[in-house]
């Protein structure tokens, strides 16, 4: 196994922690057997139910093997332990709703303010703000 520098590991862990705090991060997931759907619970309070048959990776898996579903630690994936399937949620949403929808979710996450983002915005503001667009 390759060794990772301690500072690189720290940066990666901080990035993961910040990503898990985004409003679009998954807080949890549950299989609704009656509706035959997977219910996604996001940090911002949004709840989305997706029919199992609409998710290619699990469409043919028996419901009994999908009961043990959880959100990934970073909040960007679904993990079905008994089916040995992991699904990247932004990719799933892009597949289901198109890139505009996934982009809108990403834009919500991009609005999140970190201390570093706030400092950079203030620094750029002191320089006169965002440069004007020039006509081509």
Strand partners, 80: 69, 85
Alpha carbon distance 38, 54 (integer Å): 10
Q: What is the pLDDT of residue 114?
A: 73
pLDDT of residue 58: 96
How far from the centroid of its chain's Cα atoms is residue 2's Cα?
A: 27
In the chain, what are the domains? Answer: 12-126 (3.30.2020.40)
pTM of structure: 0.64
Q: Provide the residue-wise pLDDT of the chain in tens; the chain has 136 residues.
A: 566 678 888 887 887 777 777 777 899 999 999 999 999 999 888 899 999 999 999 999 999 999 999 999 888 899 999 999 999 998 898 888 887 666 666 666 666 667 777 788 788 888 877 777 887 6
Looking at residue 93, the DSSP 8-state letter turns out to be H
Listed in order, strand segments (DSSP E) in the chain are 26-32, 37-42, 47-51, 69-71, 77-80, 85-88
User: Which residues lie across from 3 on neighbouring strands?
Assistant: none
């Amino acid at each position: 196994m390759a060794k990772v520098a301690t500072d690189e590991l720290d940066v990666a862990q901080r990035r993961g922690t910040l990503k898990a705090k985004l409003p679009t991060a998954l807080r949890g997931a549950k299989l609704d057997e009656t509706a035959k759907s997977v219910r996604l619970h996001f940090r911002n309070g949004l709840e989305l139910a997706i029919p199992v048959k609409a998710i290619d990776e699990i469409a043919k898996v028996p419901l009994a093997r999908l009961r043990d579903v959880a959100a990934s630690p970073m909040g960007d994936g679904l993990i079905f332990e008994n089916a040995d399937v992991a699904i990247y949620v932004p990719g799933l949403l892009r597949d289901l709703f198109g890139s505009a929808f996934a982009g809108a979710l990403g834009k919500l996450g991009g609005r999140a303010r970190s201390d570093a983002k706030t400092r950079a915005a203030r620094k750029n503001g002191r320089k006169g703000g965002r440069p004007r667009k020039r006509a081509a």
